[in-house]
Amino acid sequence: MAPTGKHRETILTAAVSLFRRRGYSGTGLAEILSESGAPKGSLYHYFPGGKTEIGAAAVSAAGGQVTRTLKALAEAHDTPEALLRAYAAQLAAWMEQSQWRSGCPIATVLLETAPQEDRITKAGADAFSEWTRVFEDAMIQSSVPPERARSLARLAIATIEGSLILSRVERSSDPILSSAETVAELIASARGR
């Protein structure tokens, strides 16, 4: 397990933010250090594997944050379709607040590194699996058959990820909200509603 310390989290936070805005290839180690305010030696102390290790850790950290968000929303909403709508509304507000400059740090990093970088690819696969499981569990608890729940959960994740790109290009929240609504209707139908 990686060591923890005062500069590790600031380096990760800076990396996630920069990857979200500029992508993996568009972000250099010097920029991560500058944005984090951490001394140069701390980068290799906490991330001896360099940028690849930072990339994997950033994907894991961002993925974990999304998982926590989805779990909290699942607890706060009675149906899986309400969970999806709430998450879409959160993403739409976040994209608008960033003036359409942000994106998913997991997707931006994975598009540039998977499958070449095994550690980053695994971190991304783990994150997507966790997100899928949250939606899948919510659907199963709402009487959607397990195989259908799995398929719809993967569709929800794929839709969300794709809608973030469309939202950024169109500079509009509509791709996020309208595509989530379509998937929510499919989930409601699978529940017999």
pLDDT at 10: 95
Is residue 100 a contact partner of residue 171, using CB atoms and an 8 Å limit?
Answer: yes
Is residue 73 a contact partner of residue 88, using CB atoms and an 8 Å limit?
Answer: no
pLDDT at 145: 96
Q: What is the pTM of this model?
A: 0.91
Dihedral (CA of 135, 137, 142, 145) sign: positive
**N-to-C CA span, the chain:** 46
pLDDT at 6: 81
- For 23, phi then psi, to 5°, come to 85, 175
* Residue given tokens 């990093």 in the structure block: 109
Q: Report all structural domains of the chain as residue ranges with CATH numbers, in order of start.
A: 6-190 (1.10.357.10)
* Mean pLDDT per 10-residue segment, the chain (193 residues): 72 94 93 94 93 96 97 98 98 95 89 96 98 98 97 98 96 98 98 86
Using alpha carbons, select from 178, 169, 133 the residue that is nearest to residue 154: 133
User: How much of the chain is in helix, strand and coil states, percent to nearest 5?
Assistant: 80, 0, 20
